[in-house]
Amino acid sequence: MFGLFYRIGIELYFLLVRIVSIFNKKAALFINGRKNTFPSLQTLTTKSSERIWFHCASLGEFEQAKPIIEKLKQQKPEVFIAISFFSPSGYEIAKNYKHAEWVGYLPKDTTSNAKKFIQLLQPDKAVFVKYEIWYFFLKELHKQGVATYLVSAKFRKGGLLNPFIKPYFLPLLKGIRKIYLQDNSSYIILKNEGLTQIELSGDTRVDRVLAISKQEFDISRFEEFTKQSKILIGGSTWHQEENLLFEAMKKLPPFVKLIIAPHDIKRSADIQKKFSKFGAVLYSQWNQDANTRVLVIDSIGELSKLYRIAGIALVGGGFNNALHNIYEPAVYGIPVMYGNNAPKYPEAELFAQKGIGFPVRTSGEIYNHTLAANSIYKEIKNKSSLFFNENKGICLKISTELLS
């Protein structure tokens, strides 16, 4: 009976997205992208090396999978990596990822699709990221004897373990070979459900941002810009963060300069106009003028390295429960602010507990934290350094397990 209701729910969801796709580009990518999944799998060459399949919901989960994949490729370059996505947000960024031999969309979760997908791909191991678990796919993997793993996992009361669906999902969770958990509350929840193949490992993105922080980055072009200034960075911002930053900048002293890297860079020109009263300039048009007070990033790939010139950061998504990567600025030992509506992100709660992260609600709080950043810098830097030293190395452990 559960299988029937589950299938009906899946069909209704896809029907709704199909209707929305008539006038929504992202929904159209969601529907049309899946048309190529099976044809592309059918073109795969004969299996000649171990195949490991990663499934990610979207871009955030892909960021958690990447450091594991890259460790796998370092240890065993010939390993075949396949990555599937549920959302276009992840697929569009990852479709040309150099460390994957196949990237595509996960088909609709049905018995026949799961069976066909697994038979064509022939994975030796399957890795699900965070909580992106699909009933028929996991059931078919267990049936075909494919070793499955769950990494950077997060569980809460309810969800897959709510009383209505727990009898169906709990046996499947118990069949997963190893579950690596982000936070202690998830560990306690699964332990109380009788799972023993669990490990409190933290977030794999810790290893990724540590690697990025060691990459070379020419900061000479920012030398005059940062001289005798405090740099506030708004990273992966949404409208809510931009509105608060605008209000905060009205009150902050002139020596505070702002760099904004929006979540959607297509909005960069609009943001530049919004902040024009502060002399905002697009990054692509900036002539390294030291008098520029607001710099709006209009290209991809700059943000994670730019954080190293900041004195404090506000990371976007925390107001609409879509928090972006707060590890990226934290790795440089600077205070990190984020919206106070991020309940499903254990790193936000952990950062607040450690005293390196600061949930904010108002422009006044941004103003206060920005002016206080210098006085607490050394303390924050020491706490951040301790945190990253304690939580690094999990990706090597997981990749070694996957290759064992």
- For the chain, give every domain's residue range: 2-202, 218-391
Q: What's the rounded mean pLDDT across residues 346-374? A: 92
Helix and strand element counts for the chain (H, E): 18, 14
Beta bridge partners of 357: 336
- Using alpha carbons, select from 300, 354, 391, 322 the residue that is nearest to residue 338: 322
**Prediction pTM value:** 0.86
The CATH superfamily of 218-391 is: Glycogen Phosphorylase B; (3.40.50.2000)
- Phi, psi dihedrals of residue 167, rounded to the nearest 5°: -60, -20
Pairing status of strand 198-200 against strand 147-153: unpaired
Pairing status of strand 281-282 against strand 256-262: unpaired
**Confidence band for 132, pLDDT divided at 50, 70 and 90:** confident
In a 13 Å sphere around the CA of 392, the CA atoms on its Cβ side amount to 12
Rounded to whole angstroms, how far apart are CA atoms 305 and 328?
8
Rounded to whole angstroms, how far apart are CA atoms 7 and 12?
9
| pLDDT of residue 287 exceeding 70 | yes
**Confidence band for 2, pLDDT divided at 50, 70 and 90:** confident
Q: Which CATH architecture has domain 2-202?
A: 3-Layer(aba) Sandwich (3.40)
**Token couple for 108:** 């609709």
Cite the DSSP H helix spans in 230-345: 239-251, 268-274, 303-306, 327-330
- Phi, psi dihedrals of residue 198, rounded to the nearest 5°: -120, 150
**Confidence band for 142, pLDDT divided at 50, 70 and 90:** very high
Rounded to whole angstroms, how far apart are CA atoms 51 and 44?
12
Q: What is the pLDDT of residue 343?
A: 67
Burial of residue 316, with CB atoms counted within 10 A of its CB: 0-12 exposed, 13-18 middle, 19 or more buried: buried
Domains 2-202 and 218-391 share a fold: yes
Q: What is the pLDDT of residue 309?
A: 93
Beta strands in 86-221 (DSSP E): 102-105, 125-129, 147-153, 178-181, 198-200
Quick: pLDDT tens for 391-401. Answer: 999 999 999 99
Please state which of the ranges 54-58, 242-246, 295-299, 377-381 shows the lowest mean pLDDT. 377-381
